[in-house]
Every structure is written in structure tokens, then in C-alpha cells.
């Protein structure tokens, strides 16, 4: 490819990424579930939740795309109450995780969105997938949420509970969340 073509391709990719991020920011509050009226916010300082991330049961394919020598993993998994395939589905985990080379840090795009809809909690969480921990366990940061989890902060840990032979994309993960929720979510004037 010529130099001009590479510059144009880089501009298109940048524009697409900025447009997708802007669209996500606009649509997330509009499409997020509203907290149920009967639910009460936590009274203690931390909320602890354990969920299980299962590969999709409906056979949706996993996608991996290339970006100038880098890989992007696009996924859509089910959140369940337990590690068994028969456990009740309580939400979904969706995201695009860029797997950068050593020369280029693209981790700002590695946000995983967790959507939950249960009797106790209804809303979504945004988890930043940047900090890698020990083998088989990844430490993450909770950077926000909507609905029951509005303005949430905290930590999340992914642990492999059951590996499937085909690939890591088909493994079952335990997701432990420790969340700090504000007693009264701030209101935005306007």
C-alpha cells in the first residue's frame, strides 16, 4: 500500500472508533434498564457479587479481527448464576478487547459491558480490562455503571473455572465483583 492509502486508512479507523465511542455514550443511558422502584441501595460500604461468564449457548460465533498487526476480540457471552450450563441466565457480557503489541498501547478501548437484570439488581457495569494478574486470574477495574449500579466504582476479578478444549473463548469464568455505590447518586443539572 502507498503512504497516502495508509494515512487515509488510519483516518477512517480513527473516525470509526470515535464515532462508535460517541454512539455508545449517547445510547447507553437511553437503552439501559431503569432501577426498579422496590429496590434499595446498599447500606454497607461494599457490595460483593459473584457471576459466571459462559460462552453463548445459542452458537453465536466469536470474532477476531486484525488491525495493522494487532488483534481485536469481539465477544458476547452470557452471565449466569452458577458455573453449570443449566444455571439461570441473569445478563450478558459484551465487549471488544484489543490485544496490542508491545510497541502500541491500545488498552483504553478494552471496556467490557456487563448487563444484569435480576429481582435485586437491574443495570449495567463498565469494567476496564487492563491489569493482568496471576496465571488464570485477571484483575480489572470497575469504572462506572447505570441503573442499580449508577456511578459504581470497584474491582473485578476473572478466574477460569472450567476450560474447554477448543479455545479460551469457550472457557467458563467466575467474575467476582466488589463494588462501591454512592448512597445518593449525584444528579446532573439541566
pLDDT in tens, 51-80: 998 887 665 555 444 445 556 677 889 999
For residues 26 and 49, membership in a common domain is answered with no
Asked whether residue 38 is domain-assigned, the answer is no
Q: How far apart are CA 137 and CA 153, in angstroms?
A: 20
pLDDT at position 14: 92
Instruction: Provide mean pLDDT across the span 138-154.
Output: 87
Query: Residue 101 carries which DSSP code?
Result: -
**CA-derived radius of gyration, the chain:** 18
Instruction: Could you list the beta-strand ranges (E) of 21-148.
Output: 47-54, 63-67, 70-80, 89-99, 111-117, 122-128, 137-147
Residue 116 has pLDDT above 50, yes or no: yes
Chain mean pLDDT for the chain: 76
Residue 93 has pLDDT above 70, yes or no: yes
Asked whether residue 187 is domain-assigned, the answer is no
Asked whether residue 185 is domain-assigned, the answer is no
If one counts the domains in the chain, the total is 2
For residues 10 and 57, membership in a common domain is answered with no
Residue 186 has pLDDT above 70, yes or no: no
For residues 21 and 72, membership in a common domain is answered with no
- What are the tens digits of pLDDT across the range 153-178? 999 888 888 665 555 556 788 989 99
Higher pLDDT among residues 112 and 65, named by residue:
112
Question: Domain containing 132 — which CATH number?
Answer: 2.40.480.10
Asked whether residue 36 is domain-assigned, the answer is no
Q: Which domain holds residue 85?
A: 45-180
Amino acid at each position: 500500500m502507498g503512504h497516502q492509502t495508509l494515512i487515509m486508512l488510519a483516518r477512517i479507523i480513527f473516525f470509526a472508533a470515535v464515532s462508535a465511542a460517541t454512539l455508545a455514550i449517547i445510547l447507553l443511558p437511553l437503552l439501559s434498564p431503569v432501577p426498579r422502584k422496590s429496590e434499595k441501595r446498599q447500606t454497607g460500604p461494599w457490595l460483593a457479587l459473584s457471576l459466571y461468564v459462559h460462552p453463548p449457548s445459542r452458537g453465536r460465533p466469536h470474532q477476531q479481527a486484525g488491525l495493522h498487526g494487532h488483534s481485536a476480540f469481539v465477544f458476547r457471552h452470557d452471565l449466569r448464576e452458577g458455573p453449570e450450563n443449566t444455571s439461570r441466565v441473569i445478563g450478558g457480557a459484551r465487549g471488544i478487547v484489543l490485544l496490542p503489541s508491545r510497541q502500541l498501547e491500545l488498552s483504553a478501548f478494552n471496556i467490557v459491558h456487563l448487563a444484569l437484570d435480576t429481582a435485586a439488581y437491574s443495570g449495567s457495569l463498565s469494567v476496564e480490562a487492563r491489569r493482568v494478574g496471576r496465571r488464570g486470574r485477571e484483575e480489572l477495574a470497575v469504572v462506572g455503571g447505570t441503573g442499580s449500579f449508577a456511578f459504581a466504582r470497584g474491582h473485578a476479578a476473572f478466574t477460569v473455572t472450567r476450560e474447554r478444549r477448543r479455545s479460551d473463548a469457550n472457557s467458563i469464568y467466575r467474575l467476582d465483583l466488589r463494588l462501591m455505590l454512592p448512597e445518593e447518586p449525584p444528579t446532573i443539572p439541566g
